[in-house]
Structure 1
Amino acid sequence: MTATPHAREILQLAAEAADSKGGVDLVALDVSGPLPLTDAFLLVSGSVERNVIAIAGEVEDRLNDAGVRTLRREGKSEGRWILLDFGDLVVHVFHEEDRMYYALERLWKDCPVLPLELPVHSAD
């Protein structure tokens, strides 16, 4: 199985939202094979707790504005690892330290990486 076109569409929207709030090291994984309940994961890092919360908030706002309902939200008050479940897409927004510790990329290393198209940021 592969991620559906809808999952890829909302994945791109979520990635753009995360990028707009300073999210870094964005990685998208097609988890449709091993996980029957979702198609894709988006992993994003933020530098500090406030940044993690801002990234997650922007992702949720953008997807909700596009008509995609948030099914579940975990970890928002701590700002260390926020999970947003949109059904076809699950977004994990990590503090950089927690992302290294939990290493989801290693856990899901057999899943294909999905391409993301993000704007190139100039070095002011």
Structure 2
Amino acid sequence: MADLSVSKKMAAMAVDALEDRKGEDVHVIDISEISTLADYFVIASGTNINQVQALADNVQEVLGRQGFMTKDVEGYDAGNWVLLDFGDIIVHVFDNENRLFYDLERIWRDGKLVDTNELK
């Protein structure tokens, strides 16, 4: 993975983008020491399909303006779980039902939950 300071900056930008569009229950998990997938997972919820898509759009726009492009996007059309893979960070935007069902925070509990205020 990349320099952790770059990944941390990307995660902070994603959190800001999600909060700017009223994303709910935004969490960041540092998985850099337990996985080679990415350095951080950023997880948020939206209340409906339109908001989930708007959250994903805003993250892509904000990070894209800084030169960070998605390597892959999954689930956008369905709008119940959108995965944005930026390489160093992976952003998951769920509707409330799927967030509870998949419970990534529990699955990745070996990672370190990051206080989003510490990213800034």
* Moved beyond 6 Å, runs of 4+: none
Matching residue's letter, 2:5: P
Aligned to 2:6: 6
DSSP-derived class of the 2:68 partner: coil
8 Å CA contact retained: 2:34, 2:110: no
Within 1, Cα distance between the matches of 2:32 and 2:117?
A: 21
**What is the CA-CA distance between 1:116 and the residue it aligns to?**
1.1
Q: Specify the code of the residue in structure 1 equivalent to 2:85.
A: D
Aligned length: 116
Matches of 2:4 and 2:112, distance apart in 1: 14
1:85-120 C-alpha deviation (Å, 9 max, x unpaired)? 0011000000011000000111011111112139xx
Alignment of 1:69-108 (within 5 A): 69-108=69-108
Percent same amino acid at aligned positions? 34
Which letter does structure 2 place at the counterpart of 1:71? K
Aligned to 1:46: 46
2:60 corresponds to: 60
2:75 partner letter: G
1:54-99 superposed Cα distances (whole Å, 9 cap, x missing partner): 0000001100011101101000001100000001100000001100
Deviations 1:4-26 (A, max 9, x none): 11111010000000011110101
CA distance in 2 between partners of 1:57 and 1:63 (Å)? 10
Where does the alignment leave 5 or more consecutive residues of structure 2 unmatched? none
Residues of 1 paired with 2:82 and 2:97: CA distance? Answer: 13
**Match of residue 114 from structure 2:** 114
Compute the displacement of 1:37 (Å). 3.1
Query: Any stretches of 5+ residues in structure 1 without a counterpart?
Result: 119-124
TM-score of the superposition, structure 2-length normalised? 0.93
